[in-house]
């Protein structure tokens, strides 16, 4: 072969191979067509899900949230982890590792005890299951299987009927086709609000695995966006025996060990200041649920002083950022919209998943509903 | 280069015999490891983990730091496993690629600029074989530099803390053998990434006589890729960027069980880059005049 042809052949084949490899990496997995599954009614699907006994499996879970929450507000990053891995031994043991950047939060449970380990502060927390053995023995004596609670849950068919009935007062429940989640065939159970419901949500979809009948994915859709505003689901899922050692935890040397029950006791002993107690009581008592179904609104009174309170600097805590020093009112002014009406006046924050309203005198209302519904709830 | 090309050379000699491969490889290694710049870069690479280990130990007085920006190093003070991996992770950003880019630049462009490639005329070698020997040289530099960082990191960690507290981000304790296995895996993975960088350097190297140009282009490309990787709007492009998994993959080796997803993807990407770069380098080297 001439050097020129040889070179050309090498360049073209090599480049083609390499680009194919890169494309393989870039391609999103599991973008297959919806699988063909036998027809099933919503009630049957719910009933078989309730009956399902989770097998031993390993999987990884991803969260996507596009709720449209104002960014930069403290405390809003709760669902903001990279991914999590889940292992289940088909019995009492499970292990969840939540990955957050270079840190990891691990939860290990095996029937007798549970441990949580946080790598960012190198602390292991022990949760003792005080009567774990006893209750399990009792359950066994009664002949209950796992996944079934006594009384009304004893018969999954009845329970499913009840659940479906209760939900269908406010929503339409359908099995809307199939989907492929984590490369597994799944049914899509869809909850759609009845037209009379005043909500900003369009539907809630739960993908249920056709074989194990485990829920594999939860998606919340809102009006006006084709993509789910929130989705939590497996992106990898495989059924199979898991190594025993995954469900045991022995804190290594050099790790701070805390006991959850001790900690709770300590907290109880440190009686809160009288003022705090009052505020907490008032807050708890004032919570009210207005409406039902999809347009449920939670209202309450937080007290006027909470709005203007600024976070106090702790001793020895240096360099609080400007953001932390802002009072709740400053934040509301920045992210909220000023509204007024029969209920008084205040600020409203709207997200894709709902809205919240807080009045100047400290009353508030939150729900997955348009603002008008919140205003009505506060007027009542 | 004169009109006498490597390809013509065998015809001129009366008895055609091929130079033994082992001799070619060993002379290539001698060339590389006798260059003062190679030794200086390797020495700096070797010292880096020691500096990190000592400064973390002194800076925190042996107490875990609770509000650091680098959670990987929070456990490094008690952990001879995290120090080598953390050092590899930090150096993979720029310094380790610099070492292989220099080797790749010197291998062809550098030798050509000083006329050293003419020596290959005397030991008749076909051009494909020439490239093979050069790739071997770059691969050795990749393995040695990654291995050196891991080794000094491991030794520093063992000296500071002994074999105590070899535990993962998931809070499981590892035996020394298991920890060594994970470090070995990290070295192999990093060496593969470096080899991909080195292959790109070789490909550029075949097109120019200026080694500085090669180093500048490789490092410039890396920096551009890393900057592009910061923009969420370009997320469709990220799977095509070689350095995309460099920060996130190595901590996965500290998890229990190891999460192989990112590591596997990164390896496949590096192999793809390697294949593209080497085939282009081969095409260029066989068609090049003189």
Tokens 């002949």 appear where?
Answer: A143
Chain B's closest residue to A120, CA to CA, is B71
pLDDT over 60 (residue A72):
no
Of A278 and B104, the structure prediction assigns the larger pLDDT to B104
- Which of A24-33, A210-219, B103-112 has the weakest average pLDDT? A24-33
Pairwise CA distance, residues B95 & B46, whole Å = 11
pLDDT tens-digit map of A146-199: 444 444 445 767 777 777 777 777 888 888 888 888 888 888 888 888 887 778
pLDDT over 70 (residue A26):
yes
Given pLDDT bands bounded at 50, 70 and 90, which one contains residue A126?
A: confident
Chain A residues whose CB is inside 8 A of the B236 CB are: 26
Chain A's closest residue to B266, CA to CA, is A25
By residue count, chain A amounts to 380
Do the domain assignments include residue B3? no
Please indicate if any CB of chain A lies within 8 Å of the CB of B272: yes
Of B138 and A5, the structure prediction assigns the larger pLDDT to B138
How many beta-carbon pairs below 8 A join chains A and B? Answer: 128
pLDDT tens-digit map of B46-99: 999 998 888 877 776 555 544 444 445 555 555 778 888 888 988 998 899 999
Average pLDDT, chain A: 75
Q: Other CB atoms closer than 10 Å to residue B16's CB: what's the count?
A: 10
pLDDT over 60 (residue B115):
yes
Please indicate if any CB of chain A lies within 8 Å of the CB of B165: yes
Confidence (pLDDT) at A137: 46
Mutate to test the interface with B, among A29, A62, A104, A182 (most CBs of B within 10 A): A104
pLDDT tens-digit map of B256-265: 888 888 899 9
Whether B280 and A250 lie within 8 Å, measured CB to CB: no
Residue A313 region by backbone torsions, left for phi larger than 0, else alpha for psi between -120 and 50, else beta: beta
Of B200 and A367, the structure prediction assigns the larger pLDDT to B200
Of B64 and A202, the structure prediction assigns the larger pLDDT to A202
Do the domain assignments include residue B154? yes
Confidence (pLDDT) at A275: 59
Pairwise CA distance, residues B284 & A8, whole Å = 9
Confidence (pLDDT) at B221: 95
Confidence (pLDDT) at A314: 44
Helix (H, G, I), strand (E, B) or coil at A88: strand
- Which of A159-163, A198-202, A276-280 has the weakest average pLDDT? A276-280
pLDDT over 70 (residue B218):
yes
By residue count, chain B amounts to 290
Whether B170 and A13 lie within 8 Å, measured CB to CB: no
Classify residue B110 by its DSSP letter.
I
Whether A14 and B239 lie within 8 Å, measured CB to CB: no
Confidence (pLDDT) at A141: 43
Confidence (pLDDT) at A348: 85
Confidence (pLDDT) at A300: 79
Whether A4 and B273 lie within 8 Å, measured CB to CB: no
Classify residue A312 by its DSSP letter.
P
Chain A residues whose CB is inside 8 A of the B268 CB are: 21, 24-25
Percent of chain A with pLDDT over 90: 1
Do the domain assignments include residue B2? no
Chain A's closest residue to B283, CA to CA, is A7
Percent of chain B with pLDDT over 70: 84
Do the domain assignments include residue B93? yes
The alpha-helical segments, DSSP class H, found in chain B are 9-12, 21-34, 36-60, 71-74, 82-91, 95-105, 111-113, 119-122, 127-161, 176-205, 211-228, 246-249, 261-287
pLDDT tens-digit map of A305-340: 665 555 554 444 444 444 455 566 777 777 778 887
- Cross-chain CB nearest to B287 (options A3, A106, A243): A3
Whether A21 and B271 lie within 8 Å, measured CB to CB: yes
Do the domain assignments include residue B264? yes
Chain B residues whose CB is inside 8 A of the A251 CB are: 171
Confidence (pLDDT) at B191: 96
pLDDT over 90 (residue A296):
no
Please indicate if any CB of chain B lies within 8 Å of the CB of A240: no
- Which of A111-125, A233-247, A275-289 has the weakest average pLDDT? A275-289
Chain A's closest residue to B263, CA to CA, is A25
Confidence (pLDDT) at A144: 41
- Cross-chain CB nearest to A102 (options B72, B275, B282): B72
Pairwise CA distance, residues A206 & A187, whole Å = 8
CA atoms within 13 A on the CB side of B137: 32
Mean pLDDT of B158-187: 83
Confidence (pLDDT) at B267: 93
- Which of A302-306, B46-50, B185-189 has the weakest average pLDDT? A302-306
Q: List, in order, residues 6 or more apart from B188 with CB less than 8 Å away.
A: none
Of B174 and A283, the structure prediction assigns the larger pLDDT to B174
Mutate to test the interface with A, among B279, B281, B289 (most CBs of A within 10 A): B279
Q: Which of A207-211, B15-19, B115-119 tops mean pLDDT?
A: A207-211
Range of the domain at B34: 19-287
Chain B's closest residue to A108, CA to CA, is B170
Q: How far is B272 from chain A (nearest CA, A)?
A: 4
B270, A4 in Cβ contact below 8 A? no
Confidence (pLDDT) at A129: 59
Please indicate if any CB of chain A lies within 8 Å of the CB of B279: yes
Mean pLDDT of A94-121: 82
Buried b (16+ CB within 10 A) or exposed e, B227-245: eebeeeeeeeebbbbbbbb
Confidence (pLDDT) at B96: 94
Mean pLDDT of B20-25: 85
Do the domain assignments include residue B231? yes
Q: How far is CA B259 from the centre of its chain?
A: 22
Mean pLDDT of B280-290: 82
Q: Other CB atoms closer than 10 Å to residue A312's CB: what's the count?
A: 8
Whether B268 and A24 lie within 8 Å, measured CB to CB: yes
Angle A112-A118-A120 from CA coordinates, rounded to 5° = 170
What is the tally of structural domains in chain B? 1
Given pLDDT bands bounded at 50, 70 and 90, which one contains residue B281?
A: very high
Pairwise CA distance, residues A256 & B145, whole Å = 36
Q: How far is A35 from chain B (nearest CA, A)?
A: 25
Of B142 and A66, the structure prediction assigns the larger pLDDT to B142
- Cross-chain CB nearest to B171 (options A20, A60, A251): A251
- Which of A196-205, A217-226, A250-259 has the weakest average pLDDT? A250-259
Q: List, in order, residues 6 or more apart from A350 with CB less than 8 Å away.
A: A337, A371
Helix (H, G, I), strand (E, B) or coil at A251: coil
Whether B280 and A3 lie within 8 Å, measured CB to CB: no
Please indicate if any CB of chain A lies within 8 Å of the CB of B258: no
Confidence (pLDDT) at B159: 87
Pairwise CA distance, residues B100 & B143, whole Å = 10
Confidence (pLDDT) at B189: 96
**Phi then psi dihedrals of residue B152, to 5 deg:** -65, -35
pLDDT over 70 (residue B226):
yes
Do the domain assignments include residue B26? yes
């Amino acid at each position: 072969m001439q050097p020129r042809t040889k070179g050309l052949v090498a360049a073209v084949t090599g480049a083609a191979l390499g680009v194919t490899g890169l494309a393989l990496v870039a391609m999103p997995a599991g973008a297959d067509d919806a699988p063909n599954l036998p027809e099933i009614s919503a009630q049957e699907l719910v009933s078989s899900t309730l009956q399902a006994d989770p097998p031993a499996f390993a999987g990884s879970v991803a969260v996507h949230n596009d709720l449209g929450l104002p960014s930069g507000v403290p405390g809003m990053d709760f669902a903001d982890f990279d991914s999590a891995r889940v292992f289940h031994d088909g019995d009492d043991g499970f292990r969840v590792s939540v990955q957050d950047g270079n840190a990891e939060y691990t939860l290990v449970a095996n029937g007798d005890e549970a441990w949580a380990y946080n790598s960012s502060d190198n602390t292991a927390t022990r949760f003792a299951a005080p009567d774990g053995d006893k209750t399990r023995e009792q359950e066994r004596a009664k002949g209950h299987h796992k996944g079934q609670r006594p009384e009304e849950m004893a018969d999954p068919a009845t329970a499913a009927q009840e659940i479906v009935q209760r939900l269908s007062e406010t929503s339409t429940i359908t099995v809307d086709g199939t989907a492929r989640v984590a490369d597994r065939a799944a049914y899509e159970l869809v909850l759609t609000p009845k037209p009379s419901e005043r909500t900003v949500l369009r539907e809630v979809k739960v993908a249920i695995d056709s074989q194990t009948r485990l829920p594999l994915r939860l998606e919340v859709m809102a009006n006006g966006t084709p993509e789910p505003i929130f989705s939590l689901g497996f992106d990898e899922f495989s059924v199979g025996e898991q190594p025993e050692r995954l469900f045991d935890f022995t804190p290594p040397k050099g790790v701070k060990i805390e006991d959850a029950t001790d900690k709770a006791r300590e907290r109880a002993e440190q009686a809160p200041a009288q003022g705090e107690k009052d505020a907490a009581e008032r807050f708890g008592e004032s919570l009210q649920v207005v409406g039902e179904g999809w347009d449920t609104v939670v209202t309450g009174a937080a007290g006027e002083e909470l709005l203007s309170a600024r976070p106090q600097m702790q001793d020895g805590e240096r360099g609080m950022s400007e953001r932390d020093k802002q009072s709740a009112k400053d934040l509301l002014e920045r992210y909220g919209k000023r509204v007024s009406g029969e209920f008084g006046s205040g600020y409203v924050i709207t997200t894709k998943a709902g809205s919240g309203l807080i009045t100047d005198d400290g009353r508030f209302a939150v729900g997955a509903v348009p603002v008008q519904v919140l205003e009505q709830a506060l007027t009542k | 280069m004169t009109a006498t090309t490597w390809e013509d050379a065998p015809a001129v000699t009366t008895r055609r015999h091929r130079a033994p491969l082992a001799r070619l490889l060993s002379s290539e290694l001698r060339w590389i490891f006798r260059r003062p710049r190679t030794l200086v870069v390797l020495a700096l690479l070797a010292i880096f983990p020691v500096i990190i280990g000592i400064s973390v130990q002194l800076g925190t007085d042996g107490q875990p730091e609770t509000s650091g920006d680098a959670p990987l190093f929070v456990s490094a003070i008690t952990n001879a496993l995290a120090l080598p991996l953390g050092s590899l992770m930090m150096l993979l950003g720029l310094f380790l690629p610099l070492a292989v880019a220099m080797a790749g630049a010197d291998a062809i462009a550098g030798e050509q600029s000083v006329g050293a490639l003419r020596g290959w005329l005397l030991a008749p070698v076909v051009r494909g074989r020439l490239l093979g020997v050069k790739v071997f040289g770059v691969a050795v530099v990749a393995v040695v530099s990654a291995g050196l960082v891991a080794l000094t990191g491991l030794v520093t960690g063992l000296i500071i803390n002994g074999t105590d507290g070899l535990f993962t981000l998931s809070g499981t304790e590892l035996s020394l053998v298991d920890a060594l296995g994970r470090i070995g895996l990290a070295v192999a993975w990093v060496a593969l990434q470096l080899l991909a960088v080195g292959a790109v350097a070789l490909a550029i190297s075949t097109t120019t006589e200026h080694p500085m140009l090669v180093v500048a282009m490789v490092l410039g490309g890396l920096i551009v890729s890393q900057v592009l990787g910061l923009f969420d709007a370009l997320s469709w492009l990220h799977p095509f960027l070689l350095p995309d998994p460099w920060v996130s993959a190595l901590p996965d080796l500290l998890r229990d069980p190891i999460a192989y997803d990112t590591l596997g993807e990164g390896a496949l990407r590096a192999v793809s880059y390697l294949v593209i770069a080497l085939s282009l380098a081969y095409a260029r080297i066989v068609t090049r005049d003189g």
